[in-house]
Amino acid sequence: QVQLVESGGGLVKPGESLRLSCAASGFTFSDYYMTWIRQAPGRGLEWLSYMSNGGGYIRYADSVKGRFTISRDNAKNSLYLQMDSLKAEDSAVYYCAKGLPTLAYGMDVWGQGTTVTVS
């Protein structure tokens, strides 16, 4: 079955960096857009970034543009999020989500998330 497993979260200090990973299985990873979303404690969902299946199309939310970098390795069925210059307000659960068949605008399957704490 389709599965996404995030990893790489942890406790870091303000200004430090962290790289999150999302391991995909159960589908042809290279065929789908992939998205990162986060949720701060007790708050709503925040869309962060997405990348096209081949990696040539990338967009970021204004809140992370210039600090976060999305990337993927289709040979390893993996999605990444490089997070630099971290701030306390970046503390959240970070989810990756799989895109839809033949459509860029949406997600279907989500991972369980990885927790990032900046303090």
Partner 1 sequence: QTVVTQEPSLTVSPGGTVTLTCASSTGAVTSGYYPNWFQQKPGQAPRALIYSTIRKHAWTPARFSGSLLGDKAALTLSGVQPEDEADYYCLLYNGGTATFGGGTKLIVL
Q: List strand residue ranges (DSSP E) for the chain, in order.
A: 3-7, 10-12, 18-25, 34-39, 45-51, 58-60, 68-73, 78-83, 92-100, 103-110, 114-118
- Please identify which residue in 56, 62, 66, 75 interacts with partner 1, judged by CB under 8 A: 62
Per-residue binder mask for partner 1 (CB under 8 A), 15-54, x = binder: --------------------x-x------xxxx--x----
**100 neighbors 35 (Cβ within 8 angstroms):** no
The span of 11-19, 26-34, 57-65, 76-84 binding partner 1 (CB under 8 A) equals 57-65
Query: For residues 55 and 51, what is the distance between their CA atoms, to the nearest angstrom?
Result: 6
Angle (CA) 102 109 21, round 5°: 105
Interface of this chain with partner 1, residues 63 to 102, rule: CB under 8 A: 95, 100
111 binds partner 1 (CB under 8 A): yes
- Please identify which residue in 60, 68, 80, 94 interacts with partner 1, judged by CB under 8 A: 60
What is the binding site for partner 1 (CB under 8 A)? Answer: 35, 37, 44-47, 50, 59-62, 95, 100, 103, 105-113
